[in-house]
Structure 1
Amino acid sequence: MLSLLERAERRVDQAQVYLRANQVFLLAEARLWLGRGVFWLAGISVGLAAVGFALLTDKAAHSFLTVVAEYPWLPFILTPAAGAGLLWLTRNYFRGAEGSGIPQVMAELKRPAGIVWRPLVSLRIAVGKVLIGVAAVGSGFSFGREGPTVQIGAALMSYVGRLLPTTLRIQQHHLLVAGGAAGIAAAFNAPLAGIVFAIEELSRSVESRMSGVVITAIVLAGVVAQAFLGDRNYFGYVTMLGETRDLLQTILLCAVVSGIAGGTFARMLVLAATGWTGRVAEFRAQRPYLFAALIGLLVASLGWATGGLTWGSGYEETRALLEKYESVPWYFGPAKFIATVAAYLTGLPGGIFAPSLAIGAGIGRDLVPLLSGQAIPPTVIVLCMVGFLAAATQAPITSFIIVMEMVNGYSLVMDLMATALIASAISRLISRPLYSTLAENMIRQQQPTPEPSATPADPASKSV
C-alpha cells in the first residue's frame, strides 16, 4: 500500500515538473485549441442562422398567402405600407443591409486602406437583414434569402475574428470568405456550391490556409443545415430528369434565350444602382419612401393579377414547374421578371438567387412546346434555370453546381455546364458583371469627395 502511495506521489511530482517546464507551450496550445473551438462554434452558428432565416422566411411567405386568401384586398394596403416602412427602417437603423448582401461582402474584401469606412458587414446589419428580409417576403415582395445569408454568414464569422488568437493566423479576409461560402452552402444545402462560390465570386485565389478555413466552415454549417432541414435536395428529387441522345439544339436554344433574358435582367439592376437617369430616377432619389410604396402597389397588383404567383421567392412555383410544367401558366416567367426588378428598385434587403431560378424555370416552361420531342420538360426547365442564373450573376461554374445539387442532376452535368457557360458569355455582351459592379459602386460611394479646386486668382491681382 505504501509503495502505491509513493508511486502516486512520484507521478504527481513528475507531472508538476513537466507542467512548470512546459507552461508557456501548454498555455499556447490551450489558446490555440480554444480558438479552434470558437471558430467551429462560429461555423455552427452560420448554419443555425441559415436554418432560422429559412424557416422564418418560409413561415412569413406562407402566412402572407394564407391571410390574402381570406382578405384579397389586403396586399393593396400591406405591401405599399411595408415597402415604405421597411425602407425607412433600413435607411435609419440598418444601413448596409440593402439589396442582396453579396456585393457588400465583396466590397469588404476589397476595402481600401486609409479611408474612413462605414462597415458593410456587422452583427447589426445581419440582424436587420434577417428582420427586414423576412418582413419584405412576408409582405409579398419578390426576394430570396440565399444572397442575404452570405452577408449574415460573413458578419458572424467577422465578429468571431476578434475572439481568435493571433497564433491561428486566420485573417479577416479568410473569415469573410469562409462565412459567405458557408452561408451559400447552408442556404442551398449544397456544400460543393459553397466551395466553388468562394473561389469564383469572393476570392479569385485560394491559399492553402484559406482553403482549410473555408472547407471547415462549410462542413460545419452544412451539417447543421442538414440536421434541421434534412438531406434532401433544395427542390427535392426530380424523378423525370433525363436526357435524350442529342440535346445540342435544346442546350443552344435554352442558353441563348436565358442568356439574353438574364443579361437584360443584370443590366437593369446595374443601371438602377449606378447610372439610372430620368424622371423616375429623380423621383426615386427625392421621394424614396413614396417610391417604395408605389412599387409595393405594383407588386401587389402583379400578384393579384397572376393569382399570387409573383409573391415571395418563387420556390413553390419552381418546384411545381419541375413536377408538372402545365400547372403554372405561361406568363409566370415574364411576370416574375417584372416583380423581381421592381422589388430590387426599392432598396430593401433581399436576394435574387431564388427569384432568378424561378424566372429561368418560367422561361423553360415557355420553351417546352418548341422543343417537344427533343427533350423532356424537366430537362428544358432545369437548363433554363441554370442559364438564367449564370447570365444574371455571370458566375457560370457556381450556377451550374448550385442547380446540379438542387435537383440531383448529376447525369446532366455536361449539359448544365455548357448552358451556363454559353448563357454567361451572352450576358457579358449585354451587361457588366452584377455583383462586382455593385461592389465597386459601394466602394466608390465611401471614397472621400475631392475638394473643389481653388478659384483662379484675378489676372489684375497678379499684375499688382
Structure 2
Amino acid sequence: MPPDPSSHDVRSAFQREFVSPNLWRTRIVVVSMAALAGLVVVAFTWLAEGAFGLFGDLAANGWWTPLLWTPLCCAAIVWVTRRYARGAAGSGIPQVMAALDPALSGGRRPLLVSLRLSIAKIALTSAGLLGGMSLGREGPSVQIAAGVMLGARRWLPRGSGVSAHSLLVAGGAAGIAAAFNTPLAGIMFAIEELSRAPEQRNSGLIVAGIVLAGLIAVSVYGNGTHFGVIHPGPIGLTLLGPGLLAALASGCAGGLFARLLLTSLRGVSPDWPTRLRARHPVWFAAGCGLLVAAIGAISGGTTYGSGNETTRALLENEASLPPAFVLLKFIATWLTAWSGVPAGIFAPSLSIGAALGHDIALLTGYPHGAALIALGMVGFLAAATQAPLTAFIIVMEMVDGHSMVLSLMACAVVASTVSRVWSPPLYGALAAIQLPPRPPR
C-alpha cells in the first residue's frame, strides 16, 4: 500500500531536518558559497566603479583623449576575450541560461560558467568601463556569482540533493540581488528567467542563499535604495495618459533595442559590418570603440559608462542632458554589445528608459517627472529583457517606489507585451546560440 500522505512522523522529520550531518554540511557549503558570491560581486562593483573613475580622470584631460584610448582598450579586451576566455563575452546571462539547459552536457558547462570565467569576467568588464564603454555590470554579475556557486559542488556530500541546476539558479539570482542591492528582484529573476525545473526539496535553501548574497551587499553599502527615494506626486487619472504613452514608447524602443542586439550578435546577416566582425573581430571592436568615443564626445560625456549617474540625476531633477540623449545612449550601448566586449545592458537600459520618461514628461507637460522617469525605466528594461516581473521589482526596490506598485507593474506588462511584437525574448534567443544544434526530429 502507498503511504498515507496525511500521516507525518514528527520524530523522523526532526532527525531528517536537524540531526543529519550530511544535511548540515550541505547547508553550510551552500550558505558559505552564497556569502562568498555576494562578497565577490561587491568586490567586482568596487573594482568596476574604480575603473570608470579612472576613465573619468583620463577624459578630463581633453574631449579627444577617449578617441585614442577607447578604441585601443576595446580592441585589447576583445583580443584577450577571444584568445583566453571566449565564454566571458557578452552579458553573461545567456551563458548561465544555456548552462541550465538539459541539452548541454556537463563537459561543456565549464565553457560557459566556471570560477575561471568568473575571474576573467571581473577583469574584462572592469576593463570595459576603464575604456568608457556603455555597459552595465549587473548581467556580468549573474555569470560571476553563478561560477562561484557552481564551485560548491566539489565540497557537497554525496546524495546532498543539490544539483548543478540549483547552484546555477542560486548563483545567478544572487548576482542580481548583490549587484542591485535588491534581494526580492534576485528571487524573482530566479523564478522568471533562470529556473526551469524547481526542486522543492532545496528551494528554501536556495532562496536563503540568494537573500544572504543580497544581505552581503546591504551590509557593505547600507540599507539605502540604489537611486534614493523618488517623489512621484499624486498617482491618479492625471498620470494615465502620460503613463500609457511612456509604456508604449518604452515598449517599442526596448523591443527594437532587443531586435537590433539579437540581429547583430547572431552574426548571420550578409551586410559588410557583419562580415568584417567575423573576419577581423579585433579591428571591428576598435571601430566600435571609436564610435562609442565619438558619441561620448558629442553628448558631453553623458553616454560613457553604465549611466547610473545620469539616472540618479534625472530622478533628483538635477540632470542636464543633450536633446538626443536617448538615441545616443541607445546607439552607444548597442555598439558596445556588438563589439564583443563583456557587457551587461541592465544599467544602460535603465538610463535610456529614465531619459525617455523625462522626455515624455517635458512633451506632455506632466508636472511630476519622477513618476514618468520611473515608468520609463521599468518599461524599457521590461521590453529589452521581456522579464516584466523582474524589471518591475528591480525598479521598485531601486527607487523605493512602493507608492507606484500598480503603475510600475502595469507599465512593465504593457511594455513587455509591445516588445514581443518586435523581438523574441532576448536572453533566451542568445542562450540558444550557445547551445549545440538540436538533432532534427
Cα contact 1:251–1:418 (8 A) shared by 2: no
- Provide the residue aligned with 2:419 in structure 1: 427
Tell me: CA distance 1:326–1:143, structure 2 relative to 1, closer, same or farther (3 Å): closer
Tell me: CA distance 1:444–1:234, structure 2 relative to 1, closer, same or farther (3 Å): same
- Provide the residue aligned with 1:147 in structure 2: 139
Counterpart of 1:81 (choices 60, 65, 72) is 72
Deviations 1:351-402 (A, max 9, x none): 00000000101111211122224x5100011101100000000000110110
- Please report how far the alpha carbon of residue 167 of structure 1 lies from its aligned counterpart in structure 2 after TM superposition: 3.5
* Counterpart mapping for 1:253-402 below 5 A: 253-274=245-266, 275-324=268-317, 327-373=320-366, 376-402=368-394
* Counterpart mapping for 1:17-416 below 5 A: 29-112=20-103, 117=108, 119-204=111-196, 206-240=198-232, 242-274=234-266, 275-324=268-317, 327-373=320-366, 376-416=368-408
Q: TM-score scaled by structure 2?
A: 0.91
Tell me: CA distance 1:364–1:325, structure 2 relative to 1, closer, same or farther (3 Å): farther
Query: 2:34 is matched by which residue type in structure 1?
Result: G
Structure 1 stretch displaced more, 318-327 or 169-178: 318-327
Cα contact 1:255–1:387 (8 A) shared by 2: yes
* Secondary structure in 1 matching 2:418: helix
Q: TM-score scaled by structure 1?
A: 0.87
Tell me: CA distance 1:365–1:314, structure 2 relative to 1, closer, same or farther (3 Å): same
Tell me: CA distance 1:46–1:322, structure 2 relative to 1, closer, same or farther (3 Å): same
Cα contact 1:321–1:328 (8 A) shared by 2: no
Structure 1 alignment gaps of length 5 or more: 1-24, 451-464
Structure 2 alignment gaps of length 5 or more: 1-15
* Secondary structure in 2 matching 1:232: coil
Cα distance in 2, alignment partners of residues 33 and 203 from structure 1: 24
Cα distance in 2, alignment partners of residues 113 and 265 from structure 1: 28
Cα distance in 2, alignment partners of residues 402 and 363 from structure 1: 18
Tell me: CA distance 1:241–1:357, structure 2 relative to 1, closer, same or farther (3 Å): farther
Cα distance in 1, alignment partners of residues 234 and 127 from structure 2: 38
- Please report how far the alpha carbon of residue 242 of structure 1 lies from its aligned counterpart in structure 2 after TM superposition: 4.7
Query: 1:317 is matched by which residue type in structure 2?
Result: T
Deviations 1:85-123 (A, max 9, x none): 110110111110011100000000004156962620001
Cα contact 1:353–1:389 (8 A) shared by 2: yes
Would you say how many aligned residue pairs link Structure 1 and Structure 2? Answer: 421
- Please report how far the alpha carbon of residue 205 of structure 1 lies from its aligned counterpart in structure 2 after TM superposition: 5.0
Deviations 1:165-206 (A, max 9, x none): 124211111000011111101111111101111010001453
Cα distance in 1, alignment partners of residues 204 and 120 from structure 2: 30
Structure 1 stretch displaced more, 161-170 or 217-226: 161-170
Cα contact 1:242–1:411 (8 A) shared by 2: no
Query: 1:352 is matched by which residue type in structure 2?
Result: I
Query: 1:312 is matched by which residue type in structure 2?
Result: G
Higher CA-based Rg:
1
Query: 2:157 is matched by which residue type in structure 1?
Result: P
Cα distance in 2, alignment partners of residues 206 and 307 from structure 1: 47
CA RMSD, Structure 1 to Structure 2 (Å) = 1.9
Tell me: CA distance 1:398–1:113, structure 2 relative to 1, closer, same or farther (3 Å): closer
Deviations 1:215-247 (A, max 9, x none): 111121111111111111111122455524442
Cα distance in 1, alignment partners of residues 36 and 131 from structure 2: 27
- Please report how far the alpha carbon of residue 63 of structure 1 lies from its aligned counterpart in structure 2 after TM superposition: 1.5
Cα contact 1:181–1:214 (8 A) shared by 2: no
Query: 1:143 is matched by which residue type in structure 2?
Result: L
Cα contact 2:247–2:414 (8 A) shared by 1: yes
- Please report how far the alpha carbon of residue 36 of structure 1 lies from its aligned counterpart in structure 2 after TM superposition: 2.0
Cα distance in 2, alignment partners of residues 115 and 48 from structure 1: 27
Cα distance in 1, alignment partners of residues 289 and 187 from structure 2: 36
What is the percent sequence identity of the aligned residues?
Answer: 48
Cα contact 2:255–2:423 (8 A) shared by 1: yes
Cα contact 2:392–2:412 (8 A) shared by 1: yes
Cα distance in 2, alignment partners of residues 70 and 78 from structure 1: 12
Cα distance in 2, alignment partners of residues 116 and 199 from structure 1: 26
Cα distance in 1, alignment partners of residues 68 and 202 from structure 2: 49
Cα distance in 2, alignment partners of residues 143 and 125 from structure 1: 18
Cα distance in 1, alignment partners of residues 223 and 106 from structure 2: 45
Tell me: CA distance 1:100–1:311, structure 2 relative to 1, closer, same or farther (3 Å): same
Cα distance in 2, alignment partners of residues 86 and 326 from structure 1: 31
Cα distance in 1, alignment partners of residues 174 and 102 from structure 2: 21
Tell me: CA distance 1:330–1:93, structure 2 relative to 1, closer, same or farther (3 Å): same
**Deviation above 3 Å: which 4+ runs of structure 1?**
28-32, 113-116, 204-207, 239-242
